Each structure stands twice: as structure tokens, then as C-alpha cells.
Amino acid sequence: MRAVPAGEGGSSSPRQGHKVFVQKDGVVRLFERFRIGGKLAVSNRVMVPPMVTRLATETGEVTDKLVERYLLYAMGGAGFVVTEPVSVKEQKSGQLLRLSDDRFIPGVSNLAQRIHTETDAKIGVQVIHFLKISRSGYRQTVEDLTRAEVKEIPALFARAASRARQAGVDAVELHFAHAYTMSSFLSRHNKRRDEYGGSMENRLRLAEEVVRATRQAVGEDFVVGARINGDEFTLGGTTLEQSRGIALHLAGLGLDYLSVSGGGKFEDAIPVEGKPLSPYSGYSGARAMPFHWMPEKVNVYLAADIRQTLRKAGYEIPVATAGRIPTAEVAEGILQGEEADIVAVARPILADPYWPKKYEEGRGNAVVRCIYCNQCRDAEGSFEETTCVQWKQRDGSTRGPSV
């Protein structure tokens, strides 16, 4: 079943015999075609947000196993798949993809080509800048960067985005969320004493420079989005009140979508001797990747508030939400309630990559349900291949459930 909005042809009525979602106006929004930024047509409103796979090489190259993982997500029926973070800078990053040099273009190109050739999905690349961290406990902060180092960052993002476009992907997502460089500049925890710290205007300066440089590099016809924190969930950190202003400013710069997350900060991380500090070990980390004991839709209110703020200001930019959205019924309710325009489903699609297809075809009872145990997060944090514990429990597979 594909529900199609009026004016695009076809029928929005569900197939006979299939489960019918509660509908507000006769349209199942989750599985309707949608345009991001008026530029990118996607087959539905299901997004796979960035999830680190640990399937890249130690030098940041795309591998066959990584391609197969993203193909699985795409074949499973998601309309828009965004890769794990891709580093914009030449530095040690473990098994993390990179676009810091032209030599990485062929691998990403192969990934994009396979997605486009074998599925209906669109593929985006999330680009990231991060600071140094070591097992000794040392952690570089934005206050440690020289002004010259800060000034290099927009060009790093722009060049990586340009390479992504050359590789044939459909969109670039700027990683402005969680513990990393850009979010740390936006944060109230930013204590720099120059024009990149202190006031909200100053904390927004680098983000504005990155967006402008990226847009210039890829052109107006290419989709550029950003992932931001709706709330950092740390004492003294950015809250929804500040995030409203951040979202308004980014929308005014012409971004094509905003993906709203939360938490994942170093400021409340729990140290473990002999291991690098993890921004997902404290309460803010639990809010970034909610556990089973947290309510469904635990972070959706952040996206809903930001979306409402943007609409009141006259911006129609699409807003994506994430955070413990286990079923298509919950996702559809978010869309019907106008809490978001796109629903980002991460761990449930890791648990069952065919989550979208099964729900769309009325086979929700066949979905392998995520139990939000976060063992996938633990594996990623230990630099191991990210899989779902339920795969091996069911059939010993490391590839995921079948269609």
C-alpha cells in the first residue's frame, strides 16, 4: 500500500484486507510521497537517521559489508536513509567513514549507486567535525581551538559536502547535535571569549559560516539539512528555549530540513578507567538513545515545539523527529498530530530493517520489535560491529530479519 496525496496521482485508500491506521483526513501520512525542501522526492516519510555501524575500515573507507547494511535499510522500505557520521577532517577516527579527501569519493559513490540502482530510497550523508579524545581521559574542547583552527572548519564541511554531491548522494546533513564540535559551539557550555562564544549571536556564528560555505559548495538545488539538539539535558546546557532560536536562525539561512534530537553530551558523561569518555554514558546520553523504561515519543515534544515555532515565524522547513518511536501507529500519530513532518526510526529499523515495508503492507505482527535494551549502543561504543541482539537469538544471523 502506498498512500498518495491528492494531486500526485493514484489513490490514498489502503488496500483491502490490510490494517488501516487511524486517519485524520483519509491519508496515511507515513507512507505518502513527500518532497524535502521542495527538491528531493522521497517515497514516504520514514527516515533512517545516522547509526554508526563500525563497518568502515580503520582508514575510513566504505566496505562491502557497509554497503550491504545500507542496502538492507533501503530495501526495507525507508524513503530516506542518512548514513552514519562522515568525518570532514583528516584525523584518526576508528571505523568511521570519511570524506576528508577525494580518495574517499569512489567508495561513497558505489554506496549511492547501489542504493539508487536497487531500491527506491534516497541517500543522504551526515558530515561531522569532532575534537580529540583519548583513553587517558584527555578531551579537547572548543575553548582549546585557536581562532585559525576555527576558521578552517567551514571549508572542511564545504569540501566534504562537495565530495558527497560528486559521489552522487541526494543530500547532506550537517551534524550540529550531541557532543561534537558544532553542537559544542552552539551550546551554553561554550565558554570561548572571542566572537565564537558567549552570546547566542556569537555561538551561532560558526554554524552560520558552515551553512553558507556548504550551500555555496553544493548549490541551491541540492538538499542540505542539519541535525540539532532540542535540549542538551545537562545542567547549564542548551534547553528548548535556546534551541528555538537556533532553529529559527538555521531556517533563515535556507536549510532544507531540520532533524531534532537531544542529549548525548560529554558534560555529564560517566568516566570509565582505561576507556575514552563516552557522551552517551550519562543521563543526556540516555535521552539521545532512550531505554525501554522511558516513555514512547520521549523526545518528540522537542521537534513539535520547534516545528510550531518555525511555522509561527512563516517557515515551512520540514522537521524530523526521533526518540523511542517503536511502531508505525505511533509514527502515524506523530504526523497526524502535526508534531513533525518526517519520522526518524533508528533502532527499530536496526532490529528489523523491513519495519517500513512490513507495516506498509499490513504485516505489523511480523515486525521484530526493538526492545530498547541498547546492546547495539554498547557494541558501537566498544568499536564492534553494530547489530541487534535479537538477530542472533532468532537465527544466528548477523544480517537481520528477512522480508
Point out the residues that are catalytic.
Answer: 180
Do you know the residue count of the chain? 403
Residue 107 has which C-alpha cell?
Answer: 567508495
Q: Is the dihedral of CA 298, 303, 309, 311 positive or negative?
A: negative
Residues facing 125 on adjacent strands: 172
- Please report, for residues 37, 205, 251, the alpha-carbon distance to residue 224 in angstroms, rounded to integers and kept in the order given: 9, 18, 11
Q: Are 84 and 114 in contact (CB under 8 A)?
A: no
d(CA 45, CA 32): 7
Residue 335 has which C-alpha cell?
Answer: 504526523
d(CA 86, CA 88): 7
Among 116, 257, 284, CA closest to 174:
257
d(CA 118, CA 69): 13
Report which residue type is found at 41. A
